[in-house]
Structure 1
Amino acid sequence: MRNWVNAAVVLVMSAFLVLNPGSADAKSAGSSSSGRSSNGYSRPVSPAPAPQQAAPSSSSSGSSARGYALPGQAPSTTTAAPRPAQSGSDAALSRQASGSALKNYSAQQERAAYAKSAPPAPVTPAFSGYSGRYTSYDSWYSSRSSWYGGMGWGPPVYAYRSYSSFGMWDALFLWFMLDSVSNASHAAWFYNHQQDPGYTDWRREADRLSADNADLRQKLNDLDARTQAMNGQPRDPNYMPPDTKPELALASEHVVAPQPAPSSGHPVLYFVLGMAVVVGGLMLFRRSRLA
């Protein structure tokens, strides 16, 4: 009878160790590492660096009107000293560093960086063919970051003080297009999409952010001058510049395949526990027969 009891105990303990191989090691290592929690988990020591952005105007500190500050950066309460003018090579290195930092951004950090996430919006039929182009959000963010990094472009500081998307468009695509509006095909995108609800929402937000940012205000004035020069031309609501990627222009929820729901249980664990119950029942039955 004692052998049956010992066998059942060994079976349950073996199943627990197979399903949780790191638990024993975590318990012994927990007391020797101050950065570990009681279950052996260790937080990463060095988080991925936030993207390098252009310096905000002196009237706008590190936090926005919504009280948002960039990840890992406390809002500034003092006025920064004037920065010396950059040479052409310094500006190029700055853009390169900004693009490199953007490449290191993970999907989770990217989503958390924005002050607010906009609700998903439907896409037009012309762009619906990009649904499911990426298998995960991380793969989409990685592809987008590599593309912008290859352009030597990093998002300006005000890009993260608003929404992650506008209508069906990704927010960074719109800010990138504004920064490159001197490209005639990029200016044409704004003209062709002026009646798009997503563009309308973005422009309203850009005007709000430009109230205390002279650099952004100048960019918007330049955009208006270029689009006004196109007045009278027919508009194509499906227009995309030839040097852009529509799957990166759309918000992530429109191009990433639906993610599978997390598993609700562990079938192997249920099987082992069920076997333990059966063995225990047989032992009790045998004991009652012998009594």
Structure 2
Amino acid sequence: MPLKSMLSPRSGLNLLPLSLVLAIALIAPANGWGKAPTDNSGGVRSSLGVRTPSASPGQGRTASTSAGYRRPFPSAATPAPSLAGSSADRAISRQAARQALDAFRARERPGQDAGEARVRRPSTVSTPPAVRRPSVQWPADLSAPHPAPVASGQHLPARSRLPAAFDWSNAWPWILLAGLAQPGVTEFFYHHAEDSGFRQWRAAAEARAQGDPAVASQLAALDAGMAALSGPRDPSYPPHFAERRTAATAPFPFAALLTGLFGLLLAAILSLLLWRRFFGDVAIKTQRPFSSGQMPRPTWLRPGMLLALDPAPFILGGQTIKVQPPSLGTGGLVEVERLTELAGDGQVWQRLYVAGGTAFIQIHLDKRGQPDECRYFSHLDEVAPADADEWAVWLDPDQGLIGWPEFETKDGVRYQRLWSPGPKRLTPRQFTESAIDEAPCRQQAMLYVRPTGAQSLAPQFEYLWIAAHEQGNGAWVSLTVGIDISPASLNLN
């Protein structure tokens, strides 16, 4: 039937109802398309499924940066190796691990007391659960020297074997790339250039090099070093940190050894007699404790004392470290201007402030009262957050910078968490810094570390101590960088 006849009064159809139907059909989908579905959390999802955070009335969005610092984007790197830590660092990590174990037991058995869970006997089952092993397991025999590339046709000497399950996705390839100057690193990459894991890692490194000039220069140096090598590739070639070289095959000098031991014995006896004659028991005498009352300090730690700070680590470190040495005074000595005690997590450090209070030497003492850790820290930056949102950037329980697995400074240098390394953010460790006749300063702190890639005699690791301070009516965030120094060079006692 023609449309004209359908719309005519004779057809029995009315133009008004038809117009209403068409209007409803057009308007209803338009409203549905213009609204985004909501979820139960209060956030609104766009048509592409991307959730945008909702803002409650009277509340602004949480700031994502503070004084130029932000959480780094995730990378393939994992926390630094344990060899960078001291005995105090390991003790803090173990205490955190024990707290995590107690939390795990409480979660698994909510009604059971934590103390009872610690002594609970393991249940007896017919089939023990499978033990989860780490992805990388080094062989027990690491005594043989690993080979260098040789000319075609020659045989490779005996070596320690590299496990087949070497994990190229962890931090070690990046640490090795940063330490190309170390012996055996370029050779390790050369031998494994055909591995599938290496190819995947190299692709990721090339992608990162697009925005990171440091990585690009390291890859260029690696390619140049590998181009200078030749010969067959050995898929079992071990990394340089698994190397333990054996002594040369030569007649053992027993006579020289006995002579040396006898000389050392005489020197030790003479030193002991001289010590008792002139110093007595001065090492175990103590002065009154700090205001925190954690432990008495040794008498040889005092304000005004002069220290012979060795400039060699700072000179050899050069541009590979951020640490700034203090200006040396007369005779190459620095004066201790202020003495404090840092206590927390069952550990106590002595801090000797120099250079107008902008740097300090941090010393940890063993049970005998002798230094077993000595680090020099200098000022890097200080931030005074202006509001609650900016404080959340540093101390938010889920995404705060202090305790995040990685920390990136303003120049793009990344540090890995040294205490309790792992992929998730941890609560900062609680410390109290005390001094005689001063109000205590509470700190929420975390220690980070990175390999410097410097030569063997230069500092191998640089530390980053980040702390939120509360003292009196003030609060601030400080960033200090440090390196290991030898206690013997300070002539403390």
Give the TM-score normalised by structure 1.
0.30
Relative contact order (C-alpha < 8 Å, sep 6+): which is higher? Answer: 1
Question: Which TM-score applies when normalising by structure 2?
Answer: 0.19
Q: Which has the larger radius of gyration?
A: 2
Which protein is richer in helix relative to its size? 1
Query: Per residue, is there more strand in 1 or in 2?
Result: 2
